[in-house]
Amino acid sequence: MTASVPTPPLPIQITADERATRIDALQQQLSLGRLDVEELLAACMDTRTTTKETWQKLMKLDEVYSAGTVGAFAWKQLSQSWSMDAGAEMFVVQALDDKNALVCAAAAWLLQSGKKLTVSERKRAAEKIMVILRDEELSRRPLDVPGDSSRVWRLDDVLFEALRVLVE
């Protein structure tokens, strides 16, 4: 297992609103680089709450009664369709080995929605996922997905879905 994705990976501390806004801005890029995916994965673990105004803007809602967390917003962004450069792809595949189950799940989710992953990275990711799934202690870890208390998540749920998408 590799070390956890740092939170935050930036040398200076930024506010929850700034981090969530940065994650939102990633959608405007044609392709994510390694630092972008590092920031996205780290943001998935960020439990700080944004202001109501920022949450309303990010979620494109007319009115909100409460704000959400940076992590909840970052998890929503994982389901977007992303293009990644080779360095970003390699980093995300490596993040599957992270000791933090949420980082591993976020990486798997990001791989599912990745556009134009190289064949070699798809194969490497599928192989890593299969290794994790063979280890019940690793694969059955519970996940407390930020912003989604509607169901009980386990890492293997996310990994099986990612594997299905990767081998298509």
Reported as a single tens digit per residue, the pLDDT across 34-64 is: 999 999 999 999 999 999 999 999 988 888 7
Model pTM?
0.85
pLDDT at 168: 79
> Which domain, by its residues, includes 20?
16-166
Indicate whether 32 belongs to any domain.
Answer: yes
Indicate whether 104 belongs to any domain.
Answer: yes
Indicate whether 50 belongs to any domain.
Answer: yes
Output the six-digit token pair for 67: 């704000």
Q: Higher-confidence residue: 48 or 79?
A: 48
Check pLDDT > 90 for residue 107. Answer: yes
Q: Count up the domains in the chain and report the number.
A: 1
CB-CB neighbours of 22 under 10 Å: 17
Beta strand ranges found along 14-76 (DSSP E) = none
Name 16's Cβ contacts closer than 8 Å, sequence gap at least 6. Answer: 46, 48, 49, 50, 51, 54, 69, 70
User: What are 114's strand-pairing partners?
Assistant: 82
- Residues of the chain with pLDDT > 90, as a percent, come to 52
